């Protein structure tokens, strides 16, 4: 699998030492530039001057649900969500790649508990899947308009060090790609496993809205201990 170099963004006139990282995964058919405008909006605030944002690009692959059309994807999708068959090999390949990005940040001197995984839709599924299995403590998970893949494997694969890692799940009530019901089932499963899930609903479809972006910033403030007052 071929991966392009991720997009990296930080405060433009940065005289502060980076001490936290956010790895933010895009959705199906997009690329790392998809969330660049939102990250740049955050970076207008100097109090984000110690945070590095890493926006990786998914590899291109044929997507079965889209008639085999080749597009950026974190894993193959065989039908509508929920599906009876999941691309376990593809999901785990993306997990390994994101693990590499986390390890790269640790090698740069960032503590694992100062690294947060974020993602939208398919990227959010990989963020959830990866974070709950990562062997070192992470800062949190931002799961936007998404669901938990391979949920039947979680109990035997989960890393206990991230059992208390805060999770923000945000979803649109009019989402016709990943329904609110499906996302809520993932939320319930996580809560039943004693994960700390902060659940938010918005009057939107499969997208983001202004209030959600405000809530994301508040979540980043909380889990990365940023003073945004």
Tell me the pLDDT tens digit for each residue of 187-212: 999 999 999 999 999 999 999 999 99
Is residue 19 among the annotated active site residues?
A: no
Note the CATH number of domain 7-223.
3.40.50.1820
Bridge-based pairing of strands 140-144 and 69-72 is: unpaired
Q: Supply the Cα-derived Rg of the chain in whole angstroms.
A: 16
At residue 229, the pLDDT reads 46
Percent of the chain with pLDDT strictly greater than 90: 86
Which residue did the predictor score with more confidence, 13 or 125?
125
Amino acid 181: pLDDT: 95
Question: Which pLDDT value is given to residue 45?
Answer: 87
Reduced to 3 states (helix: H, G, I; strand: E, B; else coil), residue 8 is strand
Among residues 26, 129, 171, 206, which one is catalytic? 206
Higher pLDDT, residue 224 or 15: 224
Lookup result for tokens 């071929």: 2
129 has catalytic annotation: no
* Alpha helices, DSSP H, located in 133-197: 154-157, 180-192
The catalytically annotated residue of 34, 76, 87, 175 is 175
pLDDT at 47: 84
**Sequence ranges of the domains in the chain:** 7-223
Give me the chain's average pLDDT, please: 94
Model pLDDT for residues 34-60, shown as the tens digit of each residue: 999 999 999 998 889 999 999 999 999
What is the percentage of the chain residues whose pLDDT exceeds 70? 95
| 175: annotated active-site residue | yes
* CB distance 134 to 95 below 8 Å: no
Sequence-ordered list of residues with C-beta below 8 angstroms from that of 85, at least 6 positions apart, any chain:
78, 79
Among 43-47, 145-149, 153-157, 168-172, the range scoring the smallest mean pLDDT is 43-47
Among the listed residues 94, 112, 121, 179, the single catalytic one is 121
- Tell me: the pLDDT tens digits for 68-127? 999 999 999 987 665 678 999 999 999 999 999 999 999 999 999 999 999 999 999 999
């Amino acid at each position: 699998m071929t991966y392009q170099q991720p997009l990296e963004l930080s405060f433009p006139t940065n005289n502060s030492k980076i001490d936290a990282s956010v790895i933010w995964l895009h959705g199906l058919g997009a690329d790392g530039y998809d969330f660049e405008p939102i990250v740049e909006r955050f970076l207008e605030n100097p109090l984000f001057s110690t945070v590095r944002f890493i926006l990786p690009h998914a590899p291109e692959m044929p997507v079965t649900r889209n008639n085999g059309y080749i597009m950026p994807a974190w894993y193959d999708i065989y039908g509508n969500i929920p599906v009876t068959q999941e691309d376990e090999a593809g999901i785990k390949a993306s997990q390994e790649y994101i693990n590499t990005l986390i390890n790269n940040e640790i090698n740069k001197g960032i503590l694992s508990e100062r690294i947060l995984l974020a993602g939208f839709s398919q990227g959010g599924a990989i963020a959830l899947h990866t974070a709950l299995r990562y062997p070192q403590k992470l800062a949190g998970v931002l799961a936007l308009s998404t669901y938990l893949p391979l949920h039947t494997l979680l109990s035997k694969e989960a890393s206990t060090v991230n059992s208390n890692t805060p999770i923000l799940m945000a979803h649109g009530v009019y989402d016709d790609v990943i329904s609110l019901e499906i996302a809520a089932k993932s939320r319930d499963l996580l809560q039943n496993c004693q994960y700390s899930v902060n659940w938010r609903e918005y009057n939107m479809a499969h997208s983001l809205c202004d209030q959600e972006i405000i809530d994301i910033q508040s979540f980043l403030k909380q889990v990365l201990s940023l003073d945004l007052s």
